[in-house]
Amino acid sequence: MTNFKFIQMADPQVGMFARFSGLEPSEISRFQERMMNVKSAPSFSGVEPERENLTAALQQFEEIDPAFVVVCGDMVNEFDDKDQLALIRNTLGKYGETTPIHWVPGNHDIGVDNLTPDRDSVAAYRSEFGHDYYTFKYDESKFIVLNSVLLDRPENVPDEHLRQMDFLGDTLRSRDSRDSEHVVAFMHHPLFLRNAEESDSGYDWAPSPPSQPSGYWTVPLERRSPVVKLLREARVKTVFAGHMHRNHIASDNGLDVVVTSALGYPLGDDPSGYRVVDVSGGALSHRFVAL
């Protein structure tokens, strides 16, 4: 058994700083009323704030020397923006030439309206980032990447959702998974915020963004429950996620959902940052590192 570290990060979301610049006070208030810490900023275009964050993070990664990096979705703010994609390619993509980068689809990467995938958007994501659900191994541990956007909004591609569920069941029931030291899952949306049986209505401290329906931050209960059942049967203890742009940990019956604040624009009290995960002596621990 080898001790190792890896990086889990989420939501570099290149272009989001510009998206939230130049807002009127009334618009900012709408977000702040929904517990989203949007700040007043002069209007600008481009990707410079995200470039600075990514550059700073990669410099720190050189010191940490992780075995691999997992990016839990929303690499960009607009999936068809060439400048945003170019920055990801030229920073994390180049880092991936020497340290493996494992991509996880977020709703801004694979949803045609930043929410709902269709066949063309799924194909575009796969062309840019590769598979949207898959497994990989390191040492004696197994890691599962899931496309939570399919779990959240499968209506345009129901066959893709069913294929992913078959993949998850086959993977978790395999002998390879049963014999692994750790089986860890990654997705963009948190499965839940307090407990696995919670409704889709959300909580006062985590309301949906303006104009979005209740339960925006999590996987809907109808499609969450089968995933949780499979994870529990396979004794999976940890699911890492993003999407909320803030840190949050929820535990239910031995299953931890660990949400990491954005590497890009934070929406809670937590700053931009990433998570370092230590696998040592058969134990898995993690800590958030602010930029």
Q: pLDDT tens digits for 1-32?
A: 679 999 999 999 999 999 999 999 999 999 99
pLDDT, position 179: 85
pLDDT, position 260: 98
Angle between helices 158-173 and 221-233 (to 10 degrees): 20
Rounded Cα–Cα distance for residues 87 and 233 (Å):
40
221-232 tens-digit pLDDT:
999 999 999 999
pLDDT, position 1: 60
99-123 tens-digit pLDDT:
999 999 999 999 989 999 999 999 9
Decide if 156 contacts 119 (C-beta within 8 A). yes
139-195 tens-digit pLDDT:
999 999 999 999 999 999 999 999 999 999 999 999 888 888 899 999 999 999 999
Decide if 286 contacts 258 (C-beta within 8 A). yes
pLDDT, position 37: 96
Which one-letter amino acid corresponds to residue 78?
E
Q: What percent of the chain has pLDDT over 70?
A: 100
Cα angle, residue 85 at apex, residues 15 and 135 outer, rounded to 5°: 115
Question: What would the mean pLDDT of 63-76 be, rounded to a whole number?
Answer: 98
Rounded Cα–Cα distance for residues 280 and 291 (Å):
24
Structural domains present in the chain: 4-290 (3.60.21.10)
- Please count the other Cβ atoms lying within 10 Å of the Cβ belonging to residue 137: 10
Rounded Cα–Cα distance for residues 274 and 59 (Å):
13
Per the DSSP assignment, residues forming a β-bridge with 251 are 256
Q: In what order do the strands lie in the sheet with 134-138?
A: 134-138, 141-145, 183-186, 238-241, 255-259, 248-252
Is the pTM here over 0.95, yes or no? Answer: yes
